[in-house]
Amino acid sequence: MPRTNLLNTVDVTLKVLLGNGLRYAVPPYQRDYSWREEHWDDLWSDLMDVAEREDAQHYMGAIVIQQRNREEFIVIDGQQRLCTLSLIALASVALLEERATAEIQKDDNRERSQLLRNGFLGTKDPGSLRYQSKLSLNRNDDAFYQGTLLQLHEPLAPARLGDSNRLLWEAYRFFKTRLAQRFPAPED
């Protein structure tokens, strides 16, 4: 009987994973976002360690995906990491936009923001002018992710958010604060 490879494993960078024009969907039945500050802090520390060493790489762990069609994959495992990495990208975009609005390297920061958005998060729909994400989350988290976080809006009542949406919001704020500390705005 011929052997078949049921599991195809490949090591890829985050840029290759998200910068390839494909979309990733967390199935509705997957658990809600549940990472907390200790997880965010561990990831941030790992990323800062990598940033300090020129030849360093960080193994993010396995992400298990199943191809749905030519352009979309179902995320079987790794949705917490993938979501958290997208929150870091969103926090970076928000910080760059704030700096551009404050006339800090306005054109460069707007361009950086667009490159990050298009490369890691999604593209703007020409009809609705809303960002269409490369990542969709489960049934409890996706509306908040798409309608609030991806649009860089602040929730109307953060204290009234459900548990997982509150964690998404707090993670976004955590990384935005860390990015602002790590990359302070240049002084005039």
In this model, does residue 13 exceed pLDDT 90?
no
**Which pLDDT value is given to residue 158?**
94
Mean pLDDT, the chain, rounded, equals 89
Q: Which amino acid is at 105?
A: Q
pLDDT for the residue numbered 6? 57
| pLDDT value at 3 more than 50 | no
User: Percent of the chain at pLDDT above 70?
Assistant: 93
pLDDT digits (tens, 9 = 90+) for 52-92: 887 777 777 788 888 899 888 999 999 999 999 999 999 99
User: Parallel, antiparallel, or unpaired: how do β-strands 72-77 and 23-25 relate?
Assistant: parallel
Contact criterion met (CB below 8 Å) for 166 and 158? yes
Q: How confident is the model at residue 51 (pLDDT cuts 50, 70, 90)?
A: confident
